[in-house]
């Protein structure tokens, strides 16, 4: 099969769109700032179908799995994996920020910072208790879960619905078959929406540069570079080691998901690529039920990029204000973030809100220090979103390998080939 020309490939179109967005942001910042609706519209179109896709994928997967014991085993293994890896992400962020010291020498003065921009965010981002976190998993109604689009309530209802299908005999099989057919329709719809990905990436990138400017980026570039390098090292070294143990190449996997990762970077939203990533993982030979369980759980319990950013953000503020934190204090902050990093939304600003929710509990640091980050948060949100998505995709392959729920021959064939685009759905072509 003849490969598509470069200009027809989605990743190339997204790269060009982002470059054009940066150029417009530099040349015409006022016009570029008006491009925000393009990025927002693309994300909203994708989010429109996320809840029903997760519901059908999870419910159908559990129904076909048939064994409630197997579902429980997969869930426990997934949560344990996520807890270990997200803890590693927090530790990597803590080590990196102590080594590179991006805030040292700023000598920030709280009196000179404008804290008005973060005051409302700190209030609205109040950290919830563990009991509140669990209660928020239960939707007020089934309609409420889908209307709000919160992944955990949708996932809870989907699991319960799947359990019910397991106990309905032939009627359950008929409903399962119907939902399976409908889910294919939704994935095809995602394929149509993906054609607008370059336009969404252009709008998001133009807005970011136009509103905040390259000057803001350069002013605190040391922190931005540190966050980017740390996320890349975490993906290549930590996730790479996990992938190697599981039996696949992290670099081949990056190439396989390059379209999704680039779109997430441009749109600054990991959630936007949930449906397409799920489809790609199924295409490489992972069972539908594993994909349907691991990916949604991951976007509440395994936000690796957010975890890295949170530890680095706190330590950056401490360094900027010349506040020395002992090892015990740093480990205490890390322990606190093991909880507050959970449930951070995979959308623009989610990591900053999670950090804002954590700051009031850290009495040593001034809340006004968040003002140092608000202007450059958007630039770091891009790599956070990419790391979050990639970490959950790697987790899906690992869990599938543990459960022997992956066709390795098909997976290796997919990873060795060059992904192409046909009607918005990935297919395998010769390299």
Print pLDDT tens along the chain (431 aa): 456 677 777 778 888 998 899 899 889 989 998 998 988 888 888 888 888 888 888 888 888 776 677 778 888 899 899 989 999 999 999 999 999 988 888 777 666 555 555 555 445 445 555 566 667 778 888 888 788 767 778 888 888 898 888 888 888 889 988 998 898 888 888 888 888 888 988 988 888 888 877 765 666 788 889 999 999 999 999 999 999 999 999 999 999 999 899 888 887 777 778 888 999 999 999 998 889 888 888 877 788 888 898 889 888 888 888 888 888 888 888 887 776 666 554 444 566 667 776 776 676 777 777 777 776 777 788 898 899 999 999 999 999 999 999 999 999 999 988 544 433 444 333 22
User: What's the confidence (pLDDT) of residue 158?
Assistant: 86
Helix axes 197-219, 221-233, angle to 10 degrees: 130
How far CA 150 is from CA of 143, 157, 230, 385, in Å, comes to 12, 11, 29, 17
Q: What is the pTM of this model?
A: 0.78
Is 24 in contact with 207 (CB distance < 8 Å)?
no
User: What's the confidence (pLDDT) of residue 132?
Assistant: 66
Instruction: Please report which helix (H) or strand (E) contains residue 13, including its range.
Output: helix 10-27
Tell which residue, 65, 156, 427, 134, has the closest CA to residue 282.
Answer: 427
User: What's the confidence (pLDDT) of residue 250?
Assistant: 96
Tell which residue, 236, 257, 222, has the closest CA to residue 92.
Answer: 236
Question: In the chain, what are the domains?
Answer: 9-423 (1.10.3860.10)
How far CA 401 is from CA of 46, 76, 88, 382, in Å, comes to 29, 15, 21, 29
Torsion angles phi and psi, residue 239, rounded to 5 = -65, -30
Positive or negative: CA dihedral 58, 59, 62, 63: negative
The position carrying tokens 């540069």 is 209
User: What's the confidence (pLDDT) of residue 285?
Assistant: 93
User: What is the DSSP annotation of 19-68?
Assistant: HHHHHHHHH-HHHHHTTHHHHHHHHHHHHHHHHHHHHHHHHHHHHHH--H
User: What's the confidence (pLDDT) of residue 426?
Assistant: 40
User: What's the confidence (pLDDT) of residue 240?
Assistant: 96
Helix axes 274-283, 258-267, angle to 10 degrees: 170
């Amino acid at each position: 099969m003849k490969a598509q020309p470069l200009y027809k490939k989605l990743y190339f179109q997204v790269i060009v769109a982002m470059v054009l967005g940066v150029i417009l942001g530099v040349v015409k910042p006022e016009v570029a700032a008006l491009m925000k609706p393009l990025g927002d519209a693309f994300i909203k179109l994708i989010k429109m179908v996320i809840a029903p896709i997760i519901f059908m994928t999870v419910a159908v997967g559990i129904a076909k799995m048939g064994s409630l014991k197997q579902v429980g085993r997969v869930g426990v293994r997934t949560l344990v994996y996520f807890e270990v890896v997200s803890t590693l992400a927090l530790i990597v962020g803590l080590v990196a920020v102590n080594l590179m010291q991006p805030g040292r020498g700023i000598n920030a003065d709280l009196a000179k910072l404008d804290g008005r921009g973060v005051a409302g965010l700190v209030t609205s981002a109040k950290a919830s208790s563990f009991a509140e976190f669990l209660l928020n998993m239960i939707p007020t109604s089934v309609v409420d879960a889908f209307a709000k689009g919160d992944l955990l309530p949708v996932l809870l209802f989907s699991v319960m619905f799947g359990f019910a299908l397991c106990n309905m005999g032939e009627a359950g099989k008929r409903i399962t078959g119907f939902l399976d057919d409908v889910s294919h329709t939704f994935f095809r719809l995602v394929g149509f929406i993906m054609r607008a990905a370059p336009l969404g990436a252009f709008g998001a990138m133009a807005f970011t540069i136009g509103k905040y400017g390259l000057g803001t980026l350069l002013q605190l570039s040391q922190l931005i570079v540190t966050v980017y390098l740390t996320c890349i090292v975490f993906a290549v070294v930590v996730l790479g080691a996990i992938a190697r143990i599981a039996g696949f190449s992290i670099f081949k996997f990056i190439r396989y998901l390059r379209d999704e990762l680039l779109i997430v970077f441009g749109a600054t939203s990991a959630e936007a690529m949930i449906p397409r990533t799920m489809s790609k993982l199924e295409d490489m030979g992972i069972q539908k039920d594993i994909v349907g369980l691991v990916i949604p759980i991951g976007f509440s319990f395994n936000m690796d990029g957010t975890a890295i950013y949170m530890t680095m953000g706190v330590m950056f503020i401490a360094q900027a204000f010349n506040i020395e934190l002992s090892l015990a204090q740093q480990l205490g902050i890390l322990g606190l973030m093991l909880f507050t990093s959970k449930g951070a939304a995979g959308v623009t600003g989610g990591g900053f809100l999670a950090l804002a929710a954590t700051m009031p509990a850290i009495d040593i640091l001034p809340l006004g220090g968040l003002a140092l980050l608000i202007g450059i948060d958007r630039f770091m949100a891009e790599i956070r979103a990419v790391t979050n998505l990639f970490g959950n995709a790697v987790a899906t392959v690992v869990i599938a390998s543990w459960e022997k729920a992956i066709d390795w021959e098909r997976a290796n064939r997919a990873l060795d080939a060059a992904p192409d685009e046909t009607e918005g759905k990935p297919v395998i072509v010769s390299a």
